[in-house]
Structure 1
Amino acid sequence: MNINQKKLTIICAGMLLSVSTINVYAAESHIALALEHAQTAAKSGDTKTISNHADAAKGHIKVIDEHLKAGVISLNAAIEHAKQGHTDLAKKSSEEAVLHLNAAQ
C-alpha cells in the first residue's frame, strides 16, 4: 500500500467515524428533546402549545423507535447467522445492532 492509499484510507476512516458520531449524537438528543417537548406540553395551559409540543415529542420518539426496530432486525439476523455457523456475518449483524441501539439511546 503506497502512501497515498494509506492517506486515503485514514481520511475515509475518519469520515466514517465522524458520521457515526454525529448520527449517534443526533439520536441521543432525540430522547432529551422528546422529554423536553413532553414536559413543556404537560406544563402548558394552552391547547395549541400542548398539541405542538406533543407532536414534536412524538416525532423524536418515532426516530428512536425506528432504531430500536432496526436493532431487533439486526439481532435476529445475528442469531440466524450464528445458528448456521456464519461467524463473520453474525458478527457484522451484531455490530449493526450495536450501532442502532447506540443511536436509540
Structure 2
Amino acid sequence: MNRRVVALALSLGVGLLFAPRLAFAESHVSEAITHTKQAIEHGKMGHADVLVTHAEEAVKHAKAAEAEKANPHVKEGITHLDQAIEHGKMKHADVATKHAEEALKHLEMAK
C-alpha cells in the first residue's frame, strides 16, 4: 500500500511539473488564433497594413507555442502566416487574407 501511495504522489508531482508548460503552449495558440482572426477581418476590409500587424503578432505567439510543444498544425499555420505577412506588405490584401484563413484552419486544429 505504501508503494502505491509513493508512486501516485511521484506521478502527480511529475504531472504538475509539466502542466504549466502545456498551459502556456495552449495559451499561445489561443492568442495566435485571436490575432489571425483579426488579421482576416481587416484583410477582408482591404486593410493590408493592419492585417500585417496582426499576422506578425500571431506568428510570435505561434512560434512560442511551437517552441514549447511541437505541433505540425502550428508549424503549417506559421508558414501561412508568413505568406500572409509577405503578401500584406505588398498590399495584396486578398491573397494575404486567403493565407491567414488557411493559417487559422491549422491553428484551430492544433488547439
TM-score range relative to shorter protein: 0.5 to 0.7
Amino acid at match of 1:47: L
Match of 2:16 in 1: 55
Once residues 15 and 39 of structure 2 are traced to their aligned partners in structure 1, the CA distance between those partners, rounded to angstroms, is 36
Offset from partner CA, 1:64-100 (integer Å, 9 cap, x none): 0000000000100000000011111001100011100
| Alignment RMSD | 1.1
Query: What is the TM-score when the length of structure 1 is the normalising length?
Result: 0.56
The offset of 1:47, in angstroms, is: 1.1
Q: Which secondary structure state, in structure 1, belongs to the residue aligned with residue 31 of structure 2?
A: helix
Residue ranges of structure 1 left out of the alignment (5+ in a row): 1-44
- Higher alpha-carbon Rg: 1
Counterpart Cα distance in 2 of 1:49 and 1:96? 39
Normalised by the length of structure 2, the TM-score is: 0.53
Task: Indicate the residue corresponding to 1:84 in structure 2.
Answer: 45
Output the CA distance in 1 between the equivalents of 2:56 and 2:20: 26
Find the aligned partners of 2:63 and 2:36 in 1 and give their Cα distance.
14
Task: Please identify runs of 4+ aligned residues in structure 1 that moved more than 2 A.
Answer: none
Whole-angstrom CA distance in 2 between matches of 1:53 and 1:72: 30
Identical columns (%): 26
1:51 CA displacement: 0.4
Question: What is the total number of aligned residue pairs between the two structures?
Answer: 61
Where structure 2 has 5 or more consecutive residues not aligned to the other structure, the ranges are 1-5, 67-111
